[in-house]
Structure 1
């Protein structure tokens, strides 16, 4: 499987998963809240905090604003109109720079999803390690090419996309010479039903495209993203909040600090526990054999010169001498000393 580098971090299937705390718009337009979230994500063990970069004019048309569209799949707390929310949650160029500087000072990666070519240019100027393309833009081919042309790694979410659309997006990046691609299996419902998640798509995408495959998670809790690691997910993107009751689009389906810490810690444990496909016995287990396995013992007092039969033998702990599966090499042999009931039998007891 191919691997991709985010600065000096190798991203690949079945490696320690890269954890992105997706702050998105959960800062609610409050930069001080954003900074608190960054510090909390860092403390929980996240590798990266990710935001979303748009302006009120770069993402949504006038007609959509007039329709006052609602972008929610469950009961989320809203305020005012769609335009008021989009305007409040949009980050200015100066705020992008302030957040990026704050992340640098606190040694956590800053990233964001651009929603226009201008925002991609801003993020590139800020020195992001990679670009994240939202599921909604997987079929925006010209945009994909423009972002991929910066020749930085591309994380592409695949929510709502057919396999053909995913392949077209990959080819668009490759057409401009960028093969540094990470795909995220994603279900663009907040939250999805369990039967609609299809985590086995992670393995399918690994096989189909020979690329690092991660998981962009919109479920409640920690079990599903952790399960993705067992399938080799190279990256987990999880919405993050300090308070699930805050107003806004995504707080309700986001991980709180305790949940994010579980994901960061346990995902690494799962990754280590997966090991490899070669059957091995660890040094600790080899030592355990001596205590837990059995050795041959005699089950009555026997004299020197006795020829051993199966009826003379049993097997008990510890496993330090003749193992029971070697009894065929013992039966018929002659004792070279007297041996007592329940004594462990040793090879040097035999002629």
Structure 2
């Protein structure tokens, strides 16, 4: 089974304990104090890592796209002003990256970010992030993948919007660049997706198609779907995170709050531990339970010494510390060494 060492705290493999990424993204809203509160809250909830997004106003969006989005309308997503204004407000500077990385180090939670250009990847590399996260939108950005892969850190690739052929090409690109430290995340790039469009079984399909650890990047509302992904062996679970779903910004409404993140962190790790293996075993605790919960043969009525036991003389009751009912054939036809009274437990020493 393929394993990837993500950081000093975690070995990533299918059906291993999931590595939980609290995707802060741009939910810090350009406020460093809010960002730090989110880091501490994610740590308290049990996340292994907080992840941000690294872009500049010029590294991601073209002039034409800015021109087409001068005003956001509607209140559902709580946008403000123009796309350019939002991108500028939510972009993290180089010094802010360093400040957040140091804050994460001080509080013993991993810091990571999604680069949207090679310059940002180099900045993150200098900060010694434990991995590079590649957004779904960039799975076909082959030149970018080559350059990031060559930095030789583990890579987590989201697969939203991608065909199987595109996923295969992205993996091949990274491997040919000398980097086979790859985790794929099944992902649906809709916020939130319809349940029938999620296709969680793609996790198992990707496990079969690629000899790689497979995880899940979740955009659903609530905790049920990421927990379900853990039952399919998802090795990484990425979930958008916020302190308040009513905050302005792009992703707060589809993000987990602290209580939900704690459910995902605790529940997914418990699920992983509980899956076990396909070999049927009985634990020591269950073996001990047998003595109380199973039954032993009991006589139904008063019986005299020398009585030859018949089926109608016996029943079975708790505890299970003496002759089990499945061994009744070794008892029938044998005579008693001594008198027994109704409801006595039958013991081997009672038999001739």
Q: 1:73 to 1:133 in 2, by over 3 A?
A: farther
| Partner residue in 2 for 1:77 | 78
Residue-by-residue CA offset, 1:66-92 (whole Å, 9 max, x unaligned): 111889999201000000101111111
| Partner residue in 2 for 1:203 | 204
Q: 1:19 to 1:69 in 2, by over 3 A?
A: farther
Match of 2:100, SS state, is: helix
State the 1:181 CA deviation: 0.3
Gaps of 5+ in 1: none
Q: Matches of 1:278 and 1:72 in 2, distance apart?
A: 57
Residue-by-residue CA offset, 1:44-74 (whole Å, 9 max, x unaligned): 1111000000001100010111111889999
Please say if 1:294 is aligned against 2:282: no
Residue-by-residue CA offset, 1:229-265 (whole Å, 9 max, x unaligned): 0000001100001111111100010011111111111
Q: Is the 8 A contact 1:73 1:189 kept in 2?
A: no
Q: Is the 8 A contact 2:292 2:319 kept in 1?
A: yes
| Partner residue in 1 for 2:2 | 2
Q: Is the 8 A contact 2:12 2:235 kept in 1?
A: yes
Residue-by-residue CA offset, 1:72-123 (whole Å, 9 max, x unaligned): 9992010000001011111111111111111111111000000001000000
Q: Matches of 2:96 and 2:60 in 1, distance apart?
A: 18
Q: 1:219 to 1:163 in 2, by over 3 A?
A: same
Q: TM-score, normalised by structure 2?
A: 0.97
Q: Matches of 1:169 and 1:73 in 2, distance apart?
A: 37
Alignment of 1:330-345 (within 5 A): 330-345=331-346
Q: Matches of 2:228 and 2:71 in 1, distance apart?
A: 31
Q: TM-score, normalised by structure 1?
A: 0.98
Q: Matches of 1:18 and 1:69 in 2, distance apart?
A: 39
Residue-by-residue CA offset, 1:115-148 (whole Å, 9 max, x unaligned): 0010000000010110000000000011001000
| Partner residue in 2 for 1:65 | 66
| Partner residue in 2 for 1:251 | 252
Structure 1 segments of 4+ aligned residues over 4 angstroms from their partners: 69-74
Higher mean C-alpha deviation, range 272-281 or range 43-52: 272-281
Q: When the two structures are aligned, how many residues end up with a matched partner?
A: 351
Residue-by-residue CA offset, 1:179-206 (whole Å, 9 max, x unaligned): 0000000000000001100111101100
Q: Is the 8 A contact 1:72 1:249 kept in 2?
A: no
Q: Matches of 1:140 and 1:171 in 2, distance apart?
A: 13
| Partner residue in 1 for 2:15 | 14
Q: Matches of 1:152 and 1:68 in 2, distance apart?
A: 36
Match of 1:182, SS state, is: strand
Gaps of 5+ in 2: none
